[in-house]
């Protein structure tokens, strides 16, 4: 990939999470799909917020979490995403910059408020996400800074960007610019319901534009419309340069060049909150990949990062990831 000033540019929906503990009864009463990400409008967001318990606000957004994790490992990273110039937008920008991520996307001066995700966490550590996209719908091609994208080894995009219509164009522009500049394109499928919404387009992306693919088991099954994991894995072989498929406590499988590397999950005493598990897995994997580690080692780094983030409340790392990884690798 040559020598580039940046290792990663993440592009995604810029969201502040509102985390709240709840129980299955509340999810049922309010018709919330457990474990999934559901898009909601402003009215539903207000009604749900009214009904739910006290919250904790913490910067989120799948790709922003991943990019913050990448920076926490010591990687050189930037982020592109849209917030409004409001209190929560300034919180989002602060937290990302304070995590060491370059973030220069102009804030929206008007229009809807900064996006919020009402994350309802049950005692089993599962999170059910309800996202009001707000200012994210204003992300457009104009926000894709060509110099920034060209400066990065890897441009990493989230499937969720397919939801706000203008963002698709920004997405395609970023992919084209990355490849022109000799960089690689990574994609996460984000969520199985998101795959259901955009299956045909995601298949086209995977077949023709993506170099590195992240998916969890449910997303992969949705992509290939099969209930059988091994069938889905077989269908994925050869479609992208590298694929990493995560299976929660069953670890992950990394596909490359006809080979499948099975990676164990890192043991965790208790899953407190699964929010960010996939995001941090990809952060660790891409860090290992960008730094030239072999794929099983990149997978191990990924598992360590995922284990850290599910051991506490919230989707951004709280421990020193760099130290955790150095200890594990004995470096």
Q: To the nearest 10°, report the CA torsion of 56, 63, 105, 204.
A: -140
Extract the runs of DSSP E, i.e. beta strands, from the chain: 6-11, 15-21, 37-39, 56-59, 77-80, 102-103, 115-121, 127-132, 152-158, 184-188, 212-216, 242-246, 252-256, 259-263
Q: Contact between 42 and a second copy (CB under 8 A)?
A: no
Q: Contact between 52 and a second copy (CB under 8 A)?
A: yes
Residues whose CB falls within 8 Å of the CB of residue 42, separated by 6 or more in sequence, listed in order = 112, 132, 134
Q: Contact between 74 and a second copy (CB under 8 A)?
A: no
Let me know: does 312 contact 273? Beta carbons within 8 Å: yes
What angle is formed at CA 285 by the lines to CA 136 and CA 88, rounded to 5 degrees? Answer: 25
Q: Contact between 66 and a second copy (CB under 8 A)?
A: no
Q: Contact between 24 and a second copy (CB under 8 A)?
A: no
Applying CB under 8 A, the site for a second copy has a residue count of 26
User: Is 30 buried (19+), middle (13-18) or exposed (0-12) by CB count in 10 A?
Assistant: middle
Q: Which is nearer to a second copy, 87 or 250 (CB)?
A: 87
Which stretch, 27-35, 73-81, 85-93, 181-189, contacts a second copy (CB under 8 A)?
A: 85-93
* Among the listed residues 11, 14, 68, 135, the single contact to a second copy using CB under 8 A: 68
* Among the listed residues 23, 47, 53, 225, the single contact to a second copy using CB under 8 A: 53
List binders of a second copy among 94-153 (CB under 8 A). Answer: 94-96, 98-99, 113
Min dist CB 29 to a second copy, Å, is: 15
Which stretch, 84-92, 165-173, 185-193, 218-226, contacts a second copy (CB under 8 A)?
A: 84-92
Q: Contact between 327 and a second copy (CB under 8 A)?
A: no
Let me know: does 74 contact 322? Beta carbons within 8 Å: yes
* Nearest alpha-carbon partner for 38 in 121, 130, 136: 130
What distance in Å separates the CA atoms of residue 56 and residue 314, rounded to the nearest whole number? Answer: 9
Q: Which is nearer to a second copy, 57 or 145 (CB)?
A: 57
Q: Contact between 83 and a second copy (CB under 8 A)?
A: no
Q: Contact between 15 and a second copy (CB under 8 A)?
A: no
Structure tokens at 82: 């849209």
The two beta strands, 259-263 and 15-21, are unpaired
**Which H or E element spans position 301?**
helix 295-310
Q: Contact between 75 and a second copy (CB under 8 A)?
A: no
Q: Contact between 50 and a second copy (CB under 8 A)?
A: yes
Residues whose CB falls within 8 Å of the CB of residue 51, separated by 6 or more in sequence, listed in order = 26, 30
Q: Which is nearer to a second copy, 123 or 142 (CB)?
A: 123
Q: Which is nearer to a second copy, 86 or 166 (CB)?
A: 86
* Nearest alpha-carbon partner for 8 in 58, 93, 98, 73: 73
* Among the listed residues 88, 213, 236, 315, the single contact to a second copy using CB under 8 A: 88
Min dist CB 320 to a second copy, Å, is: 10
Min dist CB 243 to a second copy, Å, is: 31
Structure tokens at 153: 């080894």
Min dist CB 57 to a second copy, Å, is: 4
List binders of a second copy among 284-323 (CB under 8 A). Answer: 313-314, 316, 318
What distance in Å separates the CA atoms of residue 257 and residue 316, rounded to the nearest whole number? Answer: 32
Q: Which is nearer to a second copy, 24 or 57 (CB)?
A: 57
Give contact residues for a second copy (rule: CB under 8 A). Answer: 21, 49-50, 52-59, 68, 86-88, 91, 94-96, 98-99, 113, 313-314, 316, 318
């Amino acid at each position: 990939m040559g020598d580039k000033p940046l290792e990663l540019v993440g592009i995604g929906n810029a969201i502040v999470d509102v985390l709240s503990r709840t129980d299955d009864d509340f999810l049922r009463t309010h018709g919330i799909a457990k474990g999934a990400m559901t898009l909601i409008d402003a009215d539903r967001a207000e009604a749900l917020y009214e009904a739910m318990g006290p919250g904790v606000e913490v910067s989120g957004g799948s790709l922003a979490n991943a990019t913050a994790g990448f920076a926490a490992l010591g990687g050189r990273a930037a982020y592109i995403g849209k917030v409004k110039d409001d209190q929560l937008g300034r919180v989002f920008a602060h937290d990302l910059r304070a995590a060491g991520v370059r973030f220069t996307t102009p804030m929206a001066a008007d229009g809807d408020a900064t996006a919020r995700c009402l994350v309802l966490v049950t005692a089993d550590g599962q999170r059910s996400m309800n996202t009001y996209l707000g200012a994210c719908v204003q992300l457009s091609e104009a926000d894709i800074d060509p110099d920034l994208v060209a400066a990065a080894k890897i441009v990493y995009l989230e499937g969720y960007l397919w939801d706000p219509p203008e963002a698709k164009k920004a997405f395609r522009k970023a992919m084209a610019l990355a490849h022109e500049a000799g960089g690689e394109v990574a994609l996460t499928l984000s969520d199985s319901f998101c795959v259901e919404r955009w299956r045909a387009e995601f298949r086209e992306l995977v077949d023709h534009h993506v170099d590195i693919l992240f998916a969890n088991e449910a997303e992969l099954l949705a992509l290939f419309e099969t209930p059988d994991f091994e069938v889905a894995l077989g269908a994925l072989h050869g479609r992208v340069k590298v694929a990493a498929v995560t299976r929660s406590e069953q670890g992950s499988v990394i596909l490359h060049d006809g080979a499948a590397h099975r990676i164990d999950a890192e043991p965790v005493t208790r899953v407190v909150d699964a929010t960010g598990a996939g995001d941090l897995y990809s952060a660790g994997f891409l860090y290992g990949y960008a730094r030239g580690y072999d794929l099983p080692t990149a997978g191990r780094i990924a598992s360590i990062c995922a284990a850290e983030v599910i051991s506490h409340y919230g989707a951004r790392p709280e421990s020193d990831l760099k130290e955790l990884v150095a200890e594990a690798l004995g470096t």
